[in-house]
Structure 1
Amino acid sequence: MGININPFTWWNGASWGTMLGLRGKKRVGEDSLGNVYYEGGKDTAGNPRRWVIYKGSNDASRVPPEWFSWLHHHIEGTPDESGPPQRSWEKPAVPNMTGTALAYRPPGALEAGGHRVRATGDYEAWNPDA
């Protein structure tokens, strides 16, 4: 089914038109999530154009921070050659989990059981007669 849907959709990977548009562009790297990055040509300001081809669904939150910096011209070279070394306390980037079973559910959310800690004594209900 993937080969039949690919020419017409953009939300679940690169379409054939995108892949044809990348002809002659330079593949500069791949991140830990499998996304592939390209560079080539110039935009109207004279900066090199940069692309990401997502592995899987097209979701901008799936671009790691170091590659986001490269895509938006915050750094010139690829993260492998010009990025700072990763610190021991840094956590790996994770995509946005909203709408999935792994989404954050605060205490009291219906999906988390619907019970929350009772209010302390600092809350006083509004009374129209007061």
Structure 2
Amino acid sequence: GPPHGIQVERDKLNKYGRPLLGCTIKPKLGLSAKNYGRAVYECLRGGLDFTKDDENVNSQPFMRWRDRFLFCAEAIYKAQAETGEIRGHYLNATAGTCEEMIRRAVFARELGVPIVVHHYLTGGFTANTILAHYCRDNGLILHIHRA
């Protein structure tokens, strides 16, 4: 995130001397949490360093955020075990209230996922600052997206 720069992200992923390779999962809407996690796994197992939730991926009836976080964490750890390399997924912590946003960041941290994403135009600048402080104080990297 901004307080750290790219070096901390490289350190967390143990990737140096080359570009980081990642993607946003598509289709961004319509997959169940389990199938979304499967797509994350296939991307990470296929060689990407990280995947990312798109701005529309939040907590829809067909894919609730907590279920998605669990399946994505499972995908990360499975891909890491099979490849021997550190992988990541940027979990979308953007929410309708600051309290809910922090709940999501706390859950991501509890799962051991090192990076969360916040869409600051959707979530708001104050929410972004609150999340940035939480991430800084709790060892999470914050990826800020303009959506």
When Rg is computed on C-alpha atoms for both structures, the one with the higher figure is: 1
TM normalised by structure 1 equals: 0.23
More helix by share: 2
TM-score (norm 2): 0.21
Where relative contact order (Cα < 8 A, 6+ residues apart) is larger, the structure is: 2
